[in-house]
Amino acid sequence: MDSVLVMIDHPDRPRQDPAEALRPEDAADPQVLVNDLGITRGDGIFEVAGSVDGRVHALQAHLDRFARSARLMDLPAPDQPVYRAAVHTALGRLAARLPGRELSCKFIMTRGLEYPPGAHGPTGWAVAMIAPDYRPQRRAGIVVVTLDRGVRRDVMQTSPWLLAGAKSLSYAVNRSVVREAVRRGADDTLLVSSDGYVLEGPSASFLALIDGEVVTPPASDGVLPGTTQADAFAWFAQQGIPTRVRSIDCEELAGVRSAWLTSSTRLAAPIRELDGRPLDFDPDLTARLNEHLLGRDG
């Protein structure tokens, strides 16, 4: 299996050298106990960063969001230098074997063992792997259907215990909505709130060109703050295309001419059909955006 795994020890106090916390292991060997809360309860957090030739895309943004998810879930703060070192170690080793290939690195921190209670710290690792080949979707676009996420747009404020905005390991629904999209003949889904606002994809941010501006919903609407979305917005601004973070009413979707789902490994996938309606997309603009996103370092 083409992957490189680095397990992370979580000592009681920070180490002088983050590398001391890293333990390279074989991803083909079992590493997780059956009573780890990561598997018994989906009780942990994760991030996935893209990479080419050892350059890691938006790593600080991923580490910051990892820390934000930990706060939302009452988890201990992840040791950023240690997770950073783990990601660089795993990706560096795999990139050395696979120059020029698009890679990704998933890093995970769970709440640790379910029992005995209190006798342990978190479980963590970073695993580098070959990214799926998303070039066809970037070029030809994807077919998207909207699906109800079931919760109101303001649920992050009214009911923080629902963990909206946390990138948790409890992603069974994020996967089931894709199965439902495929049943409906689509590639992916755009989740909407029960009170009629656009949210995000199950593993992507939604960006739409509306009235000459590229618009995306704010994190306060209960969506993940997109690392790729943020870098795409910076690039659009450089191109002289105005951007705005604001709530999007579902009724506005009828007026959207162009839209993208952005994420760390697929990058900017233009939506060619939304709920059965063809959208325009600018292949040149999207190609230049993805070229920029692939070249990021940091």
Q: Which residue has the tokens 């999007």?
A: 248
Nearest-angstrom CA–CA distance, 168 and 160:
14
**Site residues (CB under 8 A) for a second copy, limited to 269-298:** none
Cα Rg of the chain (Å, integer) = 19
Q: How far is CA 193 from CA 136, 152, 183, 223, 238, in A?
A: 30, 5, 21, 10, 32
Other Cβ atoms closer than 10 A to 248:
21
Nearest-angstrom CA–CA distance, 5 and 130:
13
8 A C-beta contact, residue 44 and residue 204: no
Nearest distance in Å: CB 78, a second copy: 16
Residue span binding a second copy (CB under 8 A) among the ranges 25-33, 91-99, 276-284, 287-295: 25-33
**Site residues (CB under 8 A) for a second copy, limited to 147-176:** 147-152, 155, 158-163, 166, 168-176
Based on the shown chain and the rule CB under 8 A, indicate whether residue 5 belongs to the binding site for a second copy.
yes
Nearest distance in Å: CB 93, a second copy: 15
**Site residues (CB under 8 A) for a second copy, limited to 26-65:** 27-44, 46
By beta-carbon proximity to a second copy, the closer residue of 5 and 85 is 5
Question: Is residue 273 within a helix (H) or strand (E), and if so which, with residue range?
Answer: strand 267-274
Residue span binding a second copy (CB under 8 A) among the ranges 55-63, 102-110, 206-214, 231-239: 102-110
The values of phi and psi at residue 145, to 5°, are -120, 145
**Site residues (CB under 8 A) for a second copy, limited to 119-138:** 125, 127, 129
Binding interface with a second copy (CB under 8 A): 1, 3, 5, 27-44, 46, 73-74, 106, 108, 110, 115-116, 125, 127, 129, 147-152, 155, 158-163, 166, 168-177, 179-180, 194
